[in-house]
């Protein structure tokens, strides 16, 4: 784990909470329980959400682990959440590990928003989980309001949420190592319960006989230090990019200026010119390679919220009309481009915008993060 490489004591004497977990089968709890002593943890707490509260159509399945416990109660097992704790050698075999994990029913269903789980949050030093994607914003706000260290899994799209991006911009949160990168040819892989439906190409049986799914576009969002975010990108000058770039969109071309923001369009992270001192629009995936000492994050150009741009627009296209490649109009106006990176001209694919009087055309390009070299 990158956090431990950077700081071997990152988990030492810490209380770790794994909320929204399914400790009966999830690898998270297992991983931290097995490494309890190696990491020097003080306490591990994980909670699970009651089956009846989960909005999934997976058959109910009780694990042996639960069933064998003397306090297992079939009447409440489906409706109550559970709390699993590990902080001492309960079986007195000389080591603290997964065998010492103890569990109880929670009072409620284990919702992270409940008072009892909030209390666990407040007790914890570090919060780690793969929260339900649909509640990602709320979950992040729940952690941030308690001012905790965290590393949580989220979808790449979450970067552009108006609740998320400002944290990335202000350096209160960053991406973990290897965000959305395939490792050994695979996307980020998650263990799932045995009764997980075997549909879709990304479900497979692992070497251990358990089911796994590989999910594209996911990664860690964290405020725990790691080394990668201090490694600068190796970049070429603008002139060298134009001369030698491996991308046909860059080689032999000018870097385009946006028509509506004072920034240049950089279509690939490896084409960021090392000698440009103004604002540059780069792909969202840049954030995975962002080095804090090399660039400052200025804003985000993305249709969802123009407030995120961080710099003022220099033009708007409210009197333009949206037009399709076949020349027919949609019902939308150029107002739709607000907050987007806009380039002058007709797009070669997809819709663009035209001023019916002057025939001027512009088009929006992909969401871009605006960055600027530090210290200029
Ligand atoms: C994406 S899964 C992650 C499970 C596990 N941490 C893992 O990665 O193997 C999210 C879990 O959150 C649970 N969940 C959904 N809504 C919740 C809520 N409001 N409070 C707590 N947990 C919730 C889901 O039932 C599910 O078990």
Report the percentage of the chain scoring pLDDT > 90: 77
Q: Residue 199 pLDDT more than 70? A: no
Residue 133 Cα to ligand 1 middle (Å): 9
Residue 19 Cα to ligand 1 middle (Å): 8
Do residues 274 and 241 touch, judged by C-beta distance below 8 A? no
pLDDT at position 200: 59
- Which protein residues are within 6 Å of ligand 1, measured from CB? 20-22, 26, 28, 49, 54, 110-112, 129-132, 135, 190-191
Tens of pLDDT, residues 27-82? 889 999 999 999 999 999 999 999 999 877 777 888 888 888 999 999 999 999 99
Q: Ligand 1 atom 16: the closest Cα is on which residue?
A: 132
pLDDT at position 252: 97
pLDDT at position 20: 87
Where does the pLDDT of residue 234 fall: very low under 50, low under 70, confident under 90, or very high at 90 and above?
A: very high
Pairing label, strands 126-129, 361-364: unpaired
Cα–Cα distance for residue pair 329/350, rounded to 1 Å: 12
Cα–Cα distance for residue pair 269/282, rounded to 1 Å: 6
Q: Ligand 1 atom 5: the closest Cα is on which residue?
A: 21
Where does the pLDDT of residue 177 fall: very low under 50, low under 70, confident under 90, or very high at 90 and above?
A: confident
Give the start-to-end residue ranges of the domains of the chain.
2-230, 238-373
Q: Ligand 1 atom 17: the closest Cα is on which residue?
A: 111
Residue 47 Cα to ligand 1 middle (Å): 9
Tens of pLDDT, residues 307-334? 999 999 999 999 999 999 999 999 999 9
**Mean pLDDT calculated for residue range 14-37:** 90
On the 0-12 / 13-18 / 19+ scale of CB atoms within 10 A, 44 is buried
Tens of pLDDT, residues 83-135? 999 999 999 999 999 999 999 999 999 999 999 999 999 999 999 999 998 99
Testing ligand 1's pocket by substitution, the residue of 19, 83, 131 carrying the most ligand atoms inside 8 A of its CB is 131
Do residues 276 and 236 touch, judged by C-beta distance below 8 A? no
pLDDT at position 216: 73
Atom nearest to 49 CA in ligand 1: 22
Report in angstroms the alpha-carbon separations of 168 from 18, 223, 225, 230: 23, 10, 13, 15
Q: Which residues contact 243 (CB under 8 A, 6 or more apart)?
A: 251
Q: Please compute Rg for the chain using Cα positions.
A: 25
Residue 353 Cα to ligand 1 middle (Å): 42
Q: Lowest-pLDDT range, 110-114, 142-146, 192-196, 304-308? A: 192-196
Q: What are phi and psi of 273, to 5 degrees?
A: -75, 130
Residue 124 Cα to ligand 1 middle (Å): 18
Residue 21 Cα to ligand 1 middle (Å): 5
Residue 76 Cα to ligand 1 middle (Å): 19
Tens of pLDDT, residues 236-259? 999 999 999 999 999 999 999 999
Tens of pLDDT, residues 200-227? 556 777 777 777 777 778 889 999 999 9
- Annotate 164-184 with DSSP letters as a single string: THHHHHTTS-EE-TTTT--BT
Residue 254 Cα to ligand 1 middle (Å): 48
pLDDT at position 198: 63
Q: Provide the greatest CA pair distance for the chain.
A: 83
pLDDT at position 21: 85
Q: Ligand 1 atom 9: the closest Cα is on which residue?
A: 26
Residue 77 Cα to ligand 1 middle (Å): 16
Do residues 217 and 159 touch, judged by C-beta distance below 8 A? no
Q: Ligand 1 atom 11: the closest Cα is on which residue?
A: 20
pLDDT at position 180: 67
Q: What are phi and psi of 170, to 5 degrees?
A: -90, 10
Q: Ligand 1 atom 12: the closest Cα is on which residue?
A: 20
Atom nearest to 20 CA in ligand 1: 22
pLDDT at position 168: 97
Residue 229 Cα to ligand 1 middle (Å): 28
Q: Ligand 1 atom 19: the closest Cα is on which residue?
A: 111
Do residues 50 and 110 touch, judged by C-beta distance below 8 A? yes
**Mean pLDDT calculated for residue range 285-290:** 94
Local structure of 152: helix, strand or coil: strand
Q: Ligand 1 atom 13: the closest Cα is on which residue?
A: 20
Q: Which residues contact 32 (CB under 8 A, 6 or more apart)?
A: 16, 18, 39, 41, 44, 46, 128
Q: Lowest-pLDDT range, 204-208, 287-291, 295-299, 359-363? A: 204-208
Local structure of 76: helix, strand or coil: coil
The residue among 135, 96, 92 whose CA lies nearest residue 117 is: 135
Atom nearest to 112 CA in ligand 1: 20
Testing ligand 1's pocket by substitution, the residue of 53, 54, 132 carrying the most ligand atoms inside 8 A of its CB is 132
pLDDT at position 197: 66
Tens of pLDDT, residues 343-361? 999 999 999 999 999 999 9
Please measure the distance between the N-terminal and C-terminal CA atoms of the chain and give it in whole angstroms. Answer: 34
Token pair belonging to 165? 């991006």
Cα–Cα distance for residue pair 179/289, rounded to 1 Å: 9
The residue among 259, 235, 229, 23 whose CA lies nearest residue 128 is: 23
Residue with tokens 């263990």: 191
Do residues 150 and 223 touch, judged by C-beta distance below 8 A? yes
Counting every residue written for the chain, the total comes to 376
Residue 132 Cα to ligand 1 middle (Å): 5
Cα–Cα distance for residue pair 283/268, rounded to 1 Å: 6
DSSP bridge pairs for 323? 329, 352
């Amino acid at each position: 784990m990158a956090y431990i490489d950077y700081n071997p004591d990152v988990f030492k004497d810490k209380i770790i909470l794994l909320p929204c977990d399914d400790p009966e089968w999830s690898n998270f709890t297992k991983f931290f329980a097995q490494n309890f002593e190696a990491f020097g943890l003080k306490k591990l707490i994980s909670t699970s959400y009651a089956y009846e509260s989960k909005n999934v159509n997976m058959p109910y399945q009780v694990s042996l682990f639960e069933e064998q416990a003397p306090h297992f109660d079939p009447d409440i097992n489906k409706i109550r959440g559970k709390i699993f704790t590990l902080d001492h050698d309960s079986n007195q075999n000389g080591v603290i590990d997964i065998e010492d994990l103890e569990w109880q029913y929670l009072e409620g269903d284990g919702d992270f928003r409940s008072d009892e789980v909030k209390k666990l949050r407040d007790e914890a030093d570090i919060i780690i989980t793969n929260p339900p994607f649909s509640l990602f914003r709320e979950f992040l706000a729940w952690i941030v309001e308690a001012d905790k260290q965290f590393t949580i899994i989220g979808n790449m799209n979450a970067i552009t949420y108006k609740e998320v991006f400002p944290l990335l911009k202000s350096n209160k949160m960053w991406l973990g190592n290897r965000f959305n990168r395939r490792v050994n040819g695979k996307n980020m892989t998650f263990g799932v319960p045995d009764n997980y439906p075997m549909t879709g190409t990304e479900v497979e049986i692992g070497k251990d006989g358990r089911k796994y799914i590989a999910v594209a576009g996911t990664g860690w969002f964290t405020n725990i230090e790691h080394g990668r975010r201090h490694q600068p990108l190796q970049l070429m000058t603008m002139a060298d990019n134009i001369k030698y770039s491996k991308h046909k969109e860059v080689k032999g071309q000018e870097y385009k200026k946006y028509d509506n923001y004072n920034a240049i369009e950089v279509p690939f992270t490896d084409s960021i010119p090392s000698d440009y001192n103004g604002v540059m629009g780069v792909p969202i995936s840049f954030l995975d390679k962002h080095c804090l000492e090399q660039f400052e994050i200025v804003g985000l150009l993305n249709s969802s919220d123009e407030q995120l741009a961080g710099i003022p627009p220099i033009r708007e296209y409210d009197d333009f009309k949206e037009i399709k490649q076949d020349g027919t109009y949609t019902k939308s106006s150029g107002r739709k481009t607000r907050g987007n990176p806009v380039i002058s001209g007709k797009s070669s694919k997809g819709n663009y915008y035209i001023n019916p009087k002057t025939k001027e055309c512009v088009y929006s390009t992909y969401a871009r993060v605006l960055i600027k070299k530090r210290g200029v």
